A and B are shown apart, each in its own frame.
Chain A
Amino acid sequence: MAAAFPKFCYDSRLADATPAASTTAAGYNVLNLRDWRPYTWWKPTAIPATVTVDCGSSKAADYFAVYGHDLFSRGCTIECRKSTDNFAANDVLVATKTPTDDSPFVIEFTSTSARYWRLRITTGAPPVLAIAAIGAILTLPRRLQNGFDPLRREVRGTVHRSEDGHPLGRVLTYEAWTQDLQILVDWTWLRATWVPAWKAHLRGTPFLFAWDLTDHPAELYLVQAGEAFSAPHTIGPYADLSLTISGVSL
């Protein structure tokens, strides 16, 4: 199995306050970036384009992510920047990404804090972005246990044969991706980290799940948690945390 621990990307500085876009095409509101819906979009009208948020106070982040975009097709580079003075004199490049395809991505960086955060698109033609986040990533304390099957798909559709038995074709509606996550965690982590994250976001709002950002960064899924998680006590100071997550396969 891979070296990295599974990660949840849900925390976002764009949710701390109303983000402001440098430009916005009609019908592509910048608020769509933070709604965790892959079917609502933001689109600037000119490049460079920025989305800036004033968090009100210094806030930390160690990743930025984009899900649903055509940055590659539009020839864009996207930057994550921070500032202490709303980018007047202080404008620090934190991370940058020039996509090589239009797949979703997460870029991790060393945790840093600032009051003002910004995504900046520097080259190319105006792209569309569905979901963007800058925030603190939630990393599970261990790797996933046996049974996790990251490549499995549930195909919704039908396969047709003729009355004489000849193949006629296959029609897909979509491919679902559903996983039952199970991991042994200690009670301290469960209470201090997991439960607040569950209450703040995970139980009701979609999030990005990366089971191995190091070796398989492309296997990134926008998922929704099942109705509840369970964490029965097990040997020692541990609980057996399990939950179901589901989304659409890539």
Chain B
Amino acid sequence: MPTLPSNATRDAARVAHERKLSIIAEVDLDRCSNVYGVTPCTAGRVESGTAQAGAARTITLRSGASAVDGVFVPMTVRIVSGTGSGQERRLGGYVGATKVATLAADAADFSPTPNATSVYDIINRPVACYNTRINCQDKPNYVKGMHTYKFCLRGAPFPPGEAVRPYIMQADAALTIIDPEAGLARRNSLRLTLTDEPDSDVEQDPYATDRTTPAGSTFWRRLVARNPNTAGRFVRVRRGYVLAPWDWATFLDELYIIDRLDGPYGEGQISLTLKDPIKLTDRTQVPVATDGKLALDLKAYAHQGTVVSAGATTAILPETASGADDAYNGMELYITNALGAGQRRTISDYAGPTRTATVPAWDVVPGSSSDYEISALSIQVGSGKGTQYADPATSGKREFVRIGEEIVEYTAKSTDTMSWASSALRAQFGSERKDHPTASQVQLCRAFIAQPVTTVVRALLEEGGIAATYIDTAALTEIEVHWYGEPFAVTCCVSQPETASALLSDLLPQISAVMWWSVQTQKAVLVPVMPRLTTPIAWTDAAQFIEDSVAVNTLEELRITYAAMYYGIINATSNRNEAKNYGLGEIVIDTDSEGANEYGDRRTAITYSRWFGASNQIAMRAFVGRQIAARRDAPRSIQARLDPKDYTLPAGELVDITTRALVDSAGAPLTTRCLITKIADAGTHIEVELRTTGFTRRYGFIAPDATADYPTNTVYAHIAQNTGLMTNGDAGYLTI
């Protein structure tokens, strides 16, 4: 059973009777890795040369240095090579006549002292940058590094020796709520309200002590001015308990990206809005939008007719064929019936006056009654547009384009030309072969051919902008093996750009799965809403639920009596929301629940699937059956609060709850198996939302080899007697 990341130290702190809470936000912002004026940074160097002499507190600059007294005060001298290399000292005096620069009173002595071998730079640090891009004075040598700013709750303890600013006034979380009907959960959102204050600037400004005047304004105002590009940077929110001595092992880290930084507001407060990385899938389209247009007409058929005669490498076409030389060069000549039917040859030369097409040798020379089709085998998409289209030679997958209402597979790409090996690759995914005029739009498609459904999910995530490191690929593989496999293999073509999140939201409910960003494991998590082999953890009124916190709602709007799944889309370019465009369908009707003795109404749930076809019939039949099983009675939603000692399970897990808020007909608390749809650390307590499942009864699982017989083993399914009961009278298993 998956649990939250933990360790013995955290567990001990979590279950203690008294816990001291700590929330620390670590914000990673850009900071240049170089030092102002130090190679490779060339900014701020106002004087360079080889010293004439040096002493503990002086250095005599080159003879050509400025003759103006005090001109280098309060700049910094740095010995860049020779004796004393690497030392930096702030200057407090300079005599132009002698070129002698004297160190500032609070500067330490040179050691070793510079001499005539010492090469120096004078760096004007008082006007230095702030090591951020916006004020960089040597952008070619800007090297993006990182500085982490840390913030904690106001008044809360913080680790000794770490600069953790007690600025967090409020942390408002809107964490994931798993919705099996939506598939893709609501994105985690966390808004931190942080206070502002005047500050010595030594953390933000690496050269604060070199400035001639202290920085004005406040911490956040300066930070915002120096870091305009905070969006997309990472933030770790670390939640844990204070131990003495401080121990980070008690902390559980959550990972977010900065969505926006607002403020300062009237009272100087800043609002930092954090989102989970799945937010990226809202902004990224699959397939990517392309704007290439046909440079020439693409006809359904360049010509059709009946061969007049043919030789070993020729075919003479009728008078209706083009009279222009080379008119069909590079096109395909396809014999559609009669002698030589099924042969495809690319025309290498065409003589217009004689209507003679020259082709590679026929296997069977067509006869005078052989019908043929001539078709183009390539398109051009306009100069420079070819880069937008994937090259099947390097993409590792089959590539398709949509032109008008037709989908064409192309097998090669060269600059702006896409070509296909055979005219059989036109009119794919049920689309119709048609004429397309010049300037017709050519849209790249995203096709999946017999792909494992978890592979499709992973592709949508990655193409939606989620880096592979944030996808739990091992879990996807396990899920594929245990729950999906071949019955859920996907063959589908997405022929118009849609957001990756929309595609995931379309697919996930059809495989009875939910997906969300786990801020704790820092991965996108996919979980099938299915029973588990293991018995869930129990939560009870006695030991887990905080007083007066349990509330139950009935999700009447989710109750159904009729579930239909239409799949096997006939034409991938047609309207996906009309049953007539699908060749296959599965329907389950629960007549009992529709009857007058039960609910007496019809509630429908209709699903249209572009992802699945004829090979998925078993899976589709199971899908509608599960829908009815899960929703024939309205699910119930339970909100409650837990003490932090019980914060061990992530969202998406099952739990058995026993509470007076859910009782049986006799009024006894009814143990109910629920799905955790939300679990959020609110600091002083844990907020949970649960959804009842139909998983309370026994379910069957396919057993491994050598599993013991019933009732020695009761985890896996055993075939019941024809009475529906097991040999000892137990209820039989329900197989879904």
* Contacts from A to B (Cβ < 8 Å): 17-20, 22, 27-29, 31-32, 35, 39-41, 43, 52, 54, 68-70, 73, 102, 128, 156-158, 160-174, 176, 248
Asked whether A158 lies within 8 Å of B685 as measured between CB atoms, the reply is yes
CB contact under 8 A between A169 and B163, given known A31-B202, A158-B684: no
Q: How far is the CA of A161 from the CA of B660 in the complex (A)?
A: 16
Asked whether A20 lies within 8 Å of B21 as measured between CB atoms, the reply is no
> Chain A residue with minimal CB distance to B22?
A173
Asked whether B161 lies within 8 Å of A70 as measured between CB atoms, the reply is yes
Q: Does B165 contact A (CB under 8 A)?
A: yes
Asked whether A163 lies within 8 Å of B202 as measured between CB atoms, the reply is no
> Chain B residue with minimal CB distance to A40?
B163
Which residues of B lie under 8 Å from residue A176 when comparing CB positions? 155
Which residues of B lie under 8 Å from residue A29 when comparing CB positions? 200, 202-203, 208-209
The listed residue (B17, B21, B542, B643) touching A157 by CB distance below 8 A is: B21
User: Besides A41-B162, A160-B546, 20 other CB < 8 A contacts?
Assistant: A27-B203, A31-B200, A32-B163, A35-B200, A128-B161, A157-B21, A160-B547, A163-B541, A163-B546, A163-B549, A163-B660, A167-B17, A168-B546, A168-B645, A169-B19, A170-B19, A171-B18, A171-B684, A174-B20, A176-B155
Asked whether A171 lies within 8 Å of B160 as measured between CB atoms, the reply is no
Q: How far is the CA of A192 from the CA of B161 in the complex (A)?
A: 39
Write the nearest CB–CB distance from A131 to chain B, whole angstroms.
12
> Chain B residue with minimal CB distance to A248?
B155
The listed residue (A39, A163, A167, A173) touching B164 by CB distance below 8 A is: A39
> Chain B residue with minimal CB distance to A204?
B198
Asked whether B208 lies within 8 Å of A164 as measured between CB atoms, the reply is no
The listed residue (A32, A73, A171, A173) touching B155 by CB distance below 8 A is: A173
Asked whether B209 lies within 8 Å of A174 as measured between CB atoms, the reply is no
Q: Does B424 contact A (CB under 8 A)?
A: no
The listed residue (A27, A52, A163) touching B548 by CB distance below 8 A is: A163
Give the secondary structure class of B's interface.
loop
Q: How far is the CA of A215 from the CA of B644 in the complex (A)?
A: 40
Asked whether A172 lies within 8 Å of B20 as measured between CB atoms, the reply is yes
Q: Would you give 13 A-B contacts (Cβ < 8 Å), ordered by A?
A: A18-B106, A18-B209, A28-B161, A29-B200, A32-B163, A35-B199, A39-B158, A39-B164, A169-B19, A170-B18, A171-B683, A173-B21, A173-B156
Q: Does B461 contact A (CB under 8 A)?
A: no
Write the nearest CB–CB distance from A139 to chain B, whole angstroms.
28
Q: How far is the CA of A173 from the CA of B21 in the complex (A)?
A: 5
The listed residue (A18, A166, A171) touching B19 by CB distance below 8 A is: A171
Interface size of B by Cβ–Cβ distance < 8 Å?
49
Which residues of A lie under 8 Å from residue B659 when comparing CB positions? 163
Query: What 8 A-B pairs have minimum CB-CB distances, sorted nearest first?
Result: A128-B161, A163-B541, A168-B643, A174-B155, A29-B202, A20-B106, A158-B684, A164-B542
Q: Does B16 contact A (CB under 8 A)?
A: yes
The listed residue (B21, B106, B203, B541) touching A171 by CB distance below 8 A is: B21
Q: Does B513 contact A (CB under 8 A)?
A: no
Asked whether A39 lies within 8 Å of B166 as measured between CB atoms, the reply is yes
Asked whether A39 lies within 8 Å of B163 as measured between CB atoms, the reply is yes
Which residues of B lie under 8 Å from residue A165 when comparing CB positions? 547
Which residues of A lie under 8 Å from residue B19 when comparing CB positions? 169-172
Which residues of A lie under 8 Å from residue B548 when comparing CB positions? 163
CB contact under 8 A between A20 and B108, given known A31-B202, A158-B684: yes
| Interface 1/0 per residue, B612-646 and A, CB below 8 Å | 00000000000000000000000000000001110
Q: How far is the CA of A32 from the CA of B645 in the complex (A)?
A: 38
* Contacts from B to A (Cβ < 8 Å): 15-21, 105-108, 152-153, 155-158, 160-166, 199-200, 202-203, 208-209, 245, 541-550, 643-645, 659-660, 683-685
> Chain B residue with minimal CB distance to A17?
B106
CB contact under 8 A between A163 and B157, given known A31-B202, A31-B209, A157-B21: no
Write the nearest CB–CB distance from B23 to chain A, whole angstroms.
9
Write the nearest CB–CB distance from A150 to chain B, whole angstroms.
19
CB contact under 8 A between A166 and B542, given known A29-B202, A29-B208, A174-B156: yes
Q: How far is the CA of A169 from the CA of B12 in the complex (A)?
A: 13
Q: How far is the CA of A20 from the CA of B90 in the complex (A)?
A: 12
Asked whether B209 lies within 8 Å of A157 as measured between CB atoms, the reply is no
Q: How far is the CA of A133 from the CA of B659 in the complex (A)?
A: 58
Which residues of A lie under 8 Å from residue B549 when comparing CB positions? 163
Which residues of A lie under 8 Å from residue B544 when comparing CB positions? 162, 168
Q: How far is the CA of A174 from the CA of B153 in the complex (A)?
A: 9
Residue of B200, B544, B644 most packed against chain A (CB within 10 A): B200
Asked whether B200 lies within 8 Å of A169 as measured between CB atoms, the reply is no
> Chain A residue with minimal CB distance to B158?
A39
> Chain A residue with minimal CB distance to B164?
A39
Which residues of A lie under 8 Å from residue B685 when comparing CB positions? 158, 160, 171
Asked whether B200 lies within 8 Å of A32 as measured between CB atoms, the reply is yes
Which residues of B lie under 8 Å from residue A156 when comparing CB positions? 155
Residue of A32, A39, A161 most packed against chain B (CB within 10 A): A39
Q: How far is the CA of A39 from the CA of B20 in the complex (A)?
A: 18
CB contact under 8 A between A173 and B643, given known A164-B542, A165-B547: no
> Chain A residue with minimal CB distance to B202?
A29
Q: How far is the CA of A157 from the CA of B105 in the complex (A)?
A: 51
Which residues of A lie under 8 Å from residue B164 when comparing CB positions? 39
Q: How far is the CA of A31 from the CA of B541 in the complex (A)?
A: 54
> Chain A residue with minimal CB distance to B161?
A128
Which residues of A lie under 8 Å from residue B200 when comparing CB positions? 29, 31-32, 35, 40
Q: How far is the CA of A248 from the CA of B19 in the complex (A)?
A: 17
Asked whether B21 lies within 8 Å of A169 as measured between CB atoms, the reply is no
Q: How far is the CA of A28 from the CA of B162 in the complex (A)?
A: 9
Which residues of A lie under 8 Å from residue B245 when comparing CB positions? 73
Q: How far is the CA of A68 from the CA of B157 in the complex (A)?
A: 11
Which residues of B lie under 8 Å from residue A35 when comparing CB positions? 199-200
